[in-house]
Structure 1
Amino acid sequence: MRGSVRQPWLLPVVLVVVVLTGVAGLAARALYPPSSATTPPVSAVVPTEAPVDPTDQPGPAEVKGTGDAVGHPLYDQVRALLQTHFDAINATDYRTWTSTVTADRVRGTPEKSFRQDFDSVQDGTIIVYRIETSPDATARVMLTFTSTQDLADAPAELQSPCIHWAVVYPLTLVEGQWLIDQNSTSATPQHEAC
């Protein structure tokens, strides 16, 4: 054929360009993750300072997390543990409650004391803010919640039918399961009347 000149070097050059473009694309993808990876998951909540109507206290009993907490690898386990824990308190279900705490904490809270302390308590608006893990199989969970209760079940230092709590729950890994432990961080929570 006239006018048709084969250039043997053209095919290898095109292949090299295609391969280099693919490698550059993969490198860029690794260095710059998609924008959706930097936004909080849909299930994350943004805490608000908007006052809750007193008749709606303590708020929903569902445990939720902020973007920081939801992004933590342990969030699903921690959320499930706390949901079971708070559901047990709301139902005054001692047996289920004992499945969420360490043996030391169970020994420190016999069933009679649990029932006396929590018989009118309802917890809600439960928000996990942060989860911090340690190499020694322990973790700390920073959360807030609201409780309503009869004055007889309110803490002696804050006799109120509605209390906002800010606490740090220590967790310990026991036989592959995270449990709420007992130590000084949970013994002195911050709290104020609603």
Structure 2
Amino acid sequence: MGSVASRWLVPAVVVITGAAVAAGMVGRAVYSRPAEAVGSPAVPSSSVVGPLPGSAEVRLSPDSFTHPDRTAVQRVLQTYFDSINTLDFPKWQLVVSRKRLDTQREETWIAAYESTKDGGMVVQRIESDVLGRRLRVLISFVSTQDVAKAPPAFPEKCIRWRVVYVMTWEGGALKVDDALESRAPQMEKC
């Protein structure tokens, strides 16, 4: 009986060790950090110094700076917020998913954002959903707007937001999607 068990022990150890090494190599390749992110990590705090709403630059927290898709996330969100700040609907269309675009008319979008200025954007965290090929991006930012254009449940001229944007790969490009996670933001008055 002992010789049968010992006959299978060595091959089993070799297979388990090989699988662990392969998993480590795949993990290293997936989570290696490319060098093309813009700027250095932002301070962990999302506080805005100076006039509100703050800088129009999308920055990365130290936590999000380590994610392998951080450069794509930063680029897409920079275009997303720039398009809102300049009321450029065609530019906004380039970085949102087909699903989100199908539910948004240009006139409604412009009316909603015509007085909005966003700033102080800090990507706090990026989480990968490998199976769904999605990213969940926690971002904090400040928006100023006419009170009449503020969210009906939070009619304030200046709002500090914490929102989870879901991003998905569509046609080889990362896009901001329409998802349940994005519909429950945290808001507080500035």
TM-score range (shorter-chain normalised) is 0.7 to 0.9
Q: Report sequence identity in percent.
A: 37
Task: Report the alpha carbon displacement of residue 48 of structure 1 after superposing the two structures with TM.
Answer: 3.3
Alignment of 1:14-25 (within 5 A): none
SS at match of 1:165: strand
Moved over 6 A (4+): none
Given the alignment of the two structures, is residue 45 of structure 1 paired with residue 42 of structure 2, yes or no?
A: yes
Write the distance in 1 (CA, Å) between the matches of 2:86 and 2:142: 16
Aligned to 1:58: 53
Correspondent of 2:150 among 145, 151, 154: 154
Extract unaligned runs of 5+ from structure 1: 1-36
Deviation at 1:49, TM superposition (A): 6.7
**Structure 1 counterpart of 2:115, from 120, 125, 129:** 120
Larger radius of gyration: 1
8 A contact 2:46–2:140 mirrored in 1: no
1:180 correspondence with 2:176? yes
Q: 2:125 aligns with which of 121, 130, 134?
A: 130
Once the two structures are superposed, residues 130-174 of structure 1 have per-residue CA deviations (whole angstroms, 9 ceiling, x without a partner) of 111112211110110000001121000111110000000001100
- How many residues were matched structurally? 153
RMSD: 1.8
- For each residue in 1:76-106, what CA deviation from the matched residue of structure 2 results, as whole angstroms up to 9, or x when unmatched? 1100000000000000100000111111111
Look up the SS of the partner of 1:67 in the other structure: coil
Cα displacement (A) at 1:47: 3.1
Secondary structure of the structure 1 residue equivalent to 2:63 = helix
Once residues 45 and 172 of structure 1 are traced to their aligned partners in structure 2, the CA distance between those partners, rounded to angstroms, is: 24
- CA gap 1:49/1:108 in 2 versus in 1, 3 angstroms: closer
Aligned amino acid, residue 103 of structure 1 = R
Give the secondary-structure state (helix, strand or coil) at the position aligned to 1:116: helix
TM-score by length of structure 2 reads: 0.76
Q: Secondary structure at the match of 2:110?
A: helix
Superposition deviation, residue 45 in structure 1: 1.1
Instruction: Work out whether residues 48 and 54 of structure 2, in 8 Å CA contact, stay in contact via their aligned partners in 1.
Output: no
In the superposition, the TM-score normalised over structure 1's length comes to 0.75
Could you tell me which residue of structure 1 aligns to residue 163 of structure 2?
A: 167
- Pair 1:159–1:143, CA change in 2 (3 A): same
